[in-house]
Structure 1
Amino acid sequence: MHEVLPYSPPDNDGVNKTNLLRKIWSKPRATLAYVLDKHIDEHVSLFFVLGGIARAVARVTAQYSSQPTHKMGLSTSLILAIIGGSISGIVTYIGYSWGLSLIGGWLGGRATNDQFKIVLGWALVPSITTLVFLFPALCVLNGEFTSTPLLADTLLASCGLAQIGLGIWSSVILIKGVILIQNFSIGRAMANVLLPGAVLIGLILLIASFW
């Protein structure tokens, strides 16, 4: 089995159990090395739930941005998004972790499914933070800034950019984590991250072709 900690600086870049949520942003590789070494997995399920909620709320925000007269009320949509996102987050990310482990094995890696779960959970932290930026967008959609349309448009645009940026950083952290646990090059790590989704889409299209 590959060494879990190929990177471990003498002072561990100042990472400890009390500052993991802060260090995952600036020192993602060292932070992931620490949580893997200590097997800190008690937050992973919560990260999966919150990640699913963030995706679901983002979809609601996008729907109401493009269709202000959506047939379902905003409050009802948000409640359903929180409930559905909680469930889908667990199912989706556990399935994705399994897919990462399977594809990673095909690519010659030896990381375990548990290691992938830990890496994926902590990589979701920036994406989860999009919930903070979605609140201003929801206020706009709820008509809080109808008297200042320029401010409303600016808030929506800023929230959209924040979502994109945080989503990209989550992807970067995930790739760094895959490099760490698989001892892969960046190219193989990116393939490990992207191929599970591609395989799933291919299977769906294959099944659909028989209907």
Structure 2
Amino acid sequence: MITEQTQLEAPLTLTDKQVFTEIWISPRKVFKFINDNHYDKYANVLLFFAGVSRAFDRASLKDMGDTMSLGTIIGVSIFVGGLLGWISFYFYAALVSWTGDWLKGKGDTRSILRVFAYAMLPAIFALVFLIPQISIYGIGMFQSDGDVTSAGLLANIFVYGSMICELVLGIWAMVLVVVGVSEVQKLSIGKAILNLLLPVLLFVPLIMLIALII
């Protein structure tokens, strides 16, 4: 009886490989391990690449290729995007921790930052698909009037297929963020989603108002 109870209370242990593989299918278990063990081993590197991923997305959405060269976009996305991405994730984690107190949630800024780091794995993995896209279409990937249909049927099928994969990976990253915040802050899924939205709903309008006043 004592042996059985000890086994039930044994702490969860995962290898590095298991963290990176099982988070895709058993995220709550992995986030519990990350939170309980303060698993920071790759957090900073992941946050850097998550920032890079977001920077490339912004470059495409904002048609930065209309005013910048391809080399500049790549350089800015990697170096500036990686640095500012880490800072923005830290700031957002602090806000989520703060608003989480209103919902009786647990978890400090650092624990939530870990969630963001590992939850962004699918979005980071999506960078793999960006390499062939740029090699095929070049600066056109970041231009408002870029020609992304002239590379031939097979190339177009591959690129558009990779874009769909990127979309699916991005959605899965958001799911992992919600599950991770739910686990770390001990909140329901609904409250975790609300807590992720509260900083945006409260502070973005305030920042915009201050910017307009200035």
**How far 1:9 moved relative to its partner?**
9.5
Give 2:91's match in structure 1, choosing from 84, 92, 95: 95
- Residues 124-155 of structure 1, C-alpha deviation per residue, up to 9 Å, x if partnerless? 11111111011121112228x98743233323
Residues 61 and 138, structure 1, Cα contact 8 Å, conserved in 2? no
The aligned residue for residue 180 of structure 1 is 183
Q: Which digits, 9 at most, give the CA deviation of each residue in 1:10-52, with x for residues without a partner?
A: 895x843332111111111111111222211121111111000
Matched, 1:205 2:208: yes
The 5-angstrom pairing of residues 16-27 of structure 1 reads 16-27=15-26
Do the aligned partners of 2:122 and 2:169 also contact (CA within 8 Å) in 1? yes
Name the aligned partner's letter for residue 171 of structure 1.
M
Residue ranges of structure 2 left out of the alignment (5+ in a row):
1-7, 140-147
Q: Is the 8 A contact 2:90 2:109 kept in 1?
A: no
Determine if contact 2:23/2:30 at 8 Å carries over to the other structure: yes
Is the 8 Å Cα contact of residues 52 and 90 (structure 1) preserved in structure 2?
Answer: yes
Q: 1:75 aligns to what? A: 71
C-alpha distance in structure 1 between counterparts of 2:68 and 2:212, whole Å: 33
TM-score, length-scaled by structure 1 = 0.83
Cα distance change, pair 147–188 in 1 and its aligned pair in 2 (3 A)? closer
List aligned pairs for 1:1-211, cutoff 5 A. 15-62=14-61, 70-142=66-138, 148-211=151-214
Do the aligned residues in 1 keep the contact of 2:119 with 2:177 (CA within 8 Å)?
Answer: yes
Instruction: Supply the distance in 2 between the matched residues of 1:9 and 1:165 (Cα, whole angstroms).
Output: 37
Q: Please say if residues 149 and 156 of structure 2, whose CA atoms lie closer than 8 Å, have aligned partners that are also in contact.
A: no
Aligned amino acid, residue 100 of structure 1: V
State the alpha-carbon separation in 1 of the partners of residues 167 and 150 from structure 2: 28
Is the Cα contact below 8 Å between 1:58 and 1:134 reproduced in 2? no
Rounded Cα–Cα distance in structure 1 between residues aligned with 2:205 and 2:195: 16
Q: Equivalents in 2 of 1:44, 1:136: separation in Å?
A: 27
Question: How far apart, in 2, do the equivalents of 1:149 and 1:78 lie?
Answer: 25
Instruction: Write the distance in 1 (CA, Å) between the matches of 2:163 and 2:72.
Output: 22
Deviates more, 1:94-103 or 1:177-186: 177-186
Q: Distance in 1 between matches of 2:184 and 2:151?
A: 50
State the distance in 1 between where 2:179 and 2:153 align: 39
- Structure 1: give runs of 5+ residues left out of the alignment: 1-7
Alpha-carbon shift at residue 209 of structure 1 (Å): 4.4
TM-score (norm 2): 0.82
Q: How many corresponding residue pairs?
A: 200
Counterparts of 2:111 and 2:150 in 1: how far apart (Å)? 50
Q: CA RMSD in A?
A: 2.7
